[in-house]
Structure 1
Amino acid sequence: MNCKNCEHPLHEQDSFCSNCGAKVVHHRLTLKYLWHEITEKYFNVENTLLRTFLKLFSHPEIVIGGYIEGVRKKYVNAVSYYAIALTIAGLQLFILRKFFPEALDLSIMIPESTPQADMDMEWTYDYYTILALINIPIYALMARLTFIGLDTFNFTEHLVIMAYVFAQFTLTTFPIIMTMVLLGGNFYIASYAMFPFLFLYTAFAYKRLYMLSIWNILWRSLFFIVVAGILMLILGLIQVVVLIFTGDFQEMIELEKAKRGVSYSISSAMNWTSYRFR
């Protein structure tokens, strides 16, 4: 008998391959065995997913720092953990769009919401996974600039940190946000209500990773806000430049002028009508 993964010779009593370490499966797949595999891997108290989730709350430096230093077996790796979080987030959006579309009402957050704004949000939902992947390098860059002068972690390691942080945030807030939606809440309001937790947890994780004092992490957190503001401003300017070169910026100005012109005409007509019937 040979290992199904690496073809290394095995003995009948072997439970694991001595060459690659893979588990030797002696059972034929059945629904009972498949269910046992799933529950053993994901719902057992000793499983790596639950262990990773709980340990990231109490000692994030052990999980994240351990992965950066080479630990692979004890906890879920950064890529897999972030992939699980993205899957959960995608499931959340599917449920909301399919069964609770009223929870995605943008007018609660933006009273003068336009059909174009709604279309933009639909585009965001459709490409959520790509946007989420793009956000990680942006936040990693912010963190790298925030902790400039402390060379404990390089940019790639900040990517790992942010992947764990955002995955933990997503997995934690998913049941909370869904409960609020089930009780009639708005998805955007519920999401924004969770942002303080994201900020505090990020600060907590970096405090433990860098072994900083309360005051040190406090002023660096404030500096992070400044860095984020500057970076968002730069990205906004880049967006404006792109719009100008593509001609979309002028189109937006013309549309805004047209909208104001229509609003002015309607307002004038209403005032004139009111005056006539006094």
Structure 2
Amino acid sequence: MTCKNCANTLSSDFSFCPSCGAKVVSKRITAKSLISDFFERYFNLDNTFFKTLWHMLVKPQEVCGGYINGLRKKYLNPVSMLAIALTTSGLILFFMKKVAWGKIDFSKISYAQTSNPQEGTEKIFSASMEYSSLIYFLYIPIITLASYLVFNRKKYNLPEHVIISTYSLTSFSIISTVYAVLLLALSPQMYVDTALIYVVIMILFCMYVAIKNSPCSNASLLWRIPSFLMIVFIGYMGISIFTMIILFLTGDLNIQDFVPKK
């Protein structure tokens, strides 16, 4: 018998390949095996997924620092975390469009108004949702730059700060999925009304992770925290402007949406 992944010769009693570590699969896929594999992979309390999320809350320096220093098995890697976060974001978008959309009064959303309070604002939200994945990715370099410039006592290089930022953003996104889905089901209006608060909490969580990965004195936090927030705020405004430019270039928005009606 040979391993289907690396072609290494295996004994018939092997459950895993000693060369590449892949599980030996000798039976056909069934509904039972699919369900079993899913629950074993994602709902086993001992697996790396839940461990990664929990430790990102209580000791993120071990997750991020561990990966940077070569620890690869104990925690889920940042690329896998990013894939899961994008999947959960897609779930939220599905709930937004299929469950919550018709229950939202866009004219009451104060932070994204046009000359047509209902249709214009709804148009902005609808168009922005199409580029939500791109917008999500743009936060990574912003958080990376802010943490690299302000919280870098361990002298991590820029790619290593990308790891920290990716872990921060994806962990927050995954953990907040339950909150987002419940709020969309129970009070869609509150979900969109508190969107900016959600962004603020996300940024604060990323700053918490950055601080944990760069221990510094309480006195230095007096200038580090405002500096971090200022850099992120400038980046946030840049993302907002960039998004509006994209929406205009693609024709999703036009100048008439912002001209006061007579």
| Structure 2 partner of 1:190 | 194
Q: Give 1:27 shift.
A: 3.0
Q: Which amino acid aligns with 2:36?
A: H
Deviation of the 1:215 alpha carbon = 3.9
Instruction: Give the residue type in structure 2 aligned to 1:12.
Output: S
Say if 1:208 and 1:237 are closer, same or farther in 2 by CA, change over 3 A.
closer
Instruction: Give yes or no for the alignment of 1:28 onto 2:31.
Output: no
2:203 corresponding residue in structure 1: 199
Amino acid at match of 1:192: L
2:177 pairs with 174, 177, 184, which one?
Answer: 174
Asked if 1:101 is matched to 2:105, the reply is: no
Cα contact 1:142–1:228 (8 A) shared by 2: yes
Identity %: 29
Shift of 1:234: 6.5
Match of 1:43 in 2: 43
Rg bigger for which structure?
A: 1
Q: Does 1:4 align with 2:4?
A: yes
C-alpha offsets along residues 12-61 of structure 1, whole Å, 9 cap, x if unaligned?
A: 11122122121212333221122111111110111111111111111111
Aligned residue runs from structure 1 range 1-278, under 5 A: 1-102=1-102, 104-110=104-110, 112-113=113-114, 114=116, 115-147=119-151, 150=153, 152-186=155-189, 187-231=191-235, 252=255, 259-260=259-260, 262-263=261-262
Query: Where is the helix percentage greater, Structure 1 or Structure 2?
Result: 1
Which structure 2 segments of 5+ residues have no match?
A: none
Q: Distance in 2 between matches of 1:239 and 1:85?
A: 21
| AA at the equivalent of 1:93 | L
Q: How far apart in 2 are the matches of 1:195 and 1:36?
A: 36
Contact kept, 8 Å, 2:55 with 2:63, in 1: the verdict is yes
Which amino acid is the alignment partner of residue 179 of structure 1? L
Q: CA deviation at 1:103?
A: 5.1
Deviations 1:188-230 (A, max 9, x none): 2233333443233223211221122344345312111222344
- Relative contact order (C-alpha < 8 Å, sep 6+): which is higher? 2
1:47 and 1:176 map into 2 onto residues whose CA distance is 23
- Residues 103 and 181, structure 1, Cα contact 8 Å, conserved in 2: no
Name the TM-score, length of structure 1 as normaliser.
Answer: 0.78
- Kindly indicate whether the alpha-carbon contact (under 8 Å) linking 1:97 and 1:104 is maintained by their aligned counterparts in 2: no
Distance 1:239 1:81 in 2: 25
Unaligned runs of 5+ in 1: 264-278
Contact 1:203–1:217 under 8 Å retained in 2: no
The two structures, once aligned, show a CA RMSD in angstroms of: 2.9
In structure 1, how many angstroms separate the alpha carbons of the residues matched to 2:55 and 2:237? 36
Question: TM-score, length-normalised on structure 2?
Answer: 0.83
